[in-house]
Amino acid sequence: MKITATAIPDVLLFEPTVHGDSRGYFMETFRKTHFTDRGITLDFVQDNQSLSSQGTLRGLHYQLKHPQGKLVRVGSGSLFDVAVDMRRSSPTFGRWVGVELSAENKRQLWVPPGFAHGFYVTSQSAELIYKCTDYYDASDDQSLLWNDETIGIDWPLVGSSPLLSAKDEAGKRFEDAPTYE
């Protein structure tokens, strides 16, 4: 497994070794020592999967009392995956990083606790599969406005505007959003 730090060093890109032949392929998608060797001692407690159509933007979501680290990958299709640092004490506070994840490139993104997370579907549809280090708590759910000018995410939009949920349309501007200390 090739593991690379992104422009925000705490956000890691995992690129698995794929063993393939005419019958198909095999790859390891998770190994705990890849995390513990880097000082990340969190345990995953929940797996989630979502299916979204092209043009759907989900996020940017985070939880304050129960921050979730997420190991994100795509089972089918492709999307642009984004992490925004919401940790006030971090040298990368307010910065974002985005990568293309697809069933074809088989990459995974580690989004640590303390980051807002979102994605935009670039293919006809995409299945997102991710492991979480804490449980989802609806009462603790936060939504950062996807197009906040302060953050300035360069979303690869197909068309003029994404498909959004009411919650994501009402996301908070970065300057008004609650953050981690």
- Asked if pLDDT for residue 159 goes beyond 90, the answer is no
User: How far apart (Å, rounded) are the C-alpha atoms in residues 165 and 177?
Assistant: 18
Does residue 181 lie within any of the structural domains? no
In this prediction, residues 61-77 reach a mean pLDDT of: 97
pLDDT of residue 105: 97
Over residues 127-136, the mean pLDDT reads 97
Q: Does any domain span residue 35?
A: yes
Domain with 168, as residue range(s), is 2-176
The total domain count for the chain is 1
* Average pLDDT of the residues in 30-38: 91
Band of pLDDT at residue 158, cut at 50, 70 and 90: confident
Q: Which of 62, 117, 120, 130 is catalytic?
A: 130
**Cross-sheet strand order for the sheet of 115-121:** 96-102, 78-85, 115-121, 57-63, 141-143
Told to judge if 61 belongs to the known catalytic residues of this protein, a careful annotator would answer: yes
> Which CATH number is 134's domain given?
2.60.120.10
pLDDT exceeds cutoff 90 at 85: yes
List phi, psi (to 5°) of 170: -95, 15
Would 32 be classed as within a structural domain?
A: yes
Does residue 88 belong to any structural domain of this protein?
A: yes
Q: Establish if 82 belongs to a structural domain.
A: yes
DSSP letter assigned to residue 166: H
Residue among 25, 34, 61, 136 flagged as catalytic: 61
**Residue 85 domain flag:** yes
25 is annotated as an active-site residue: no
The end-to-end CA distance of the chain, in Å, is 33
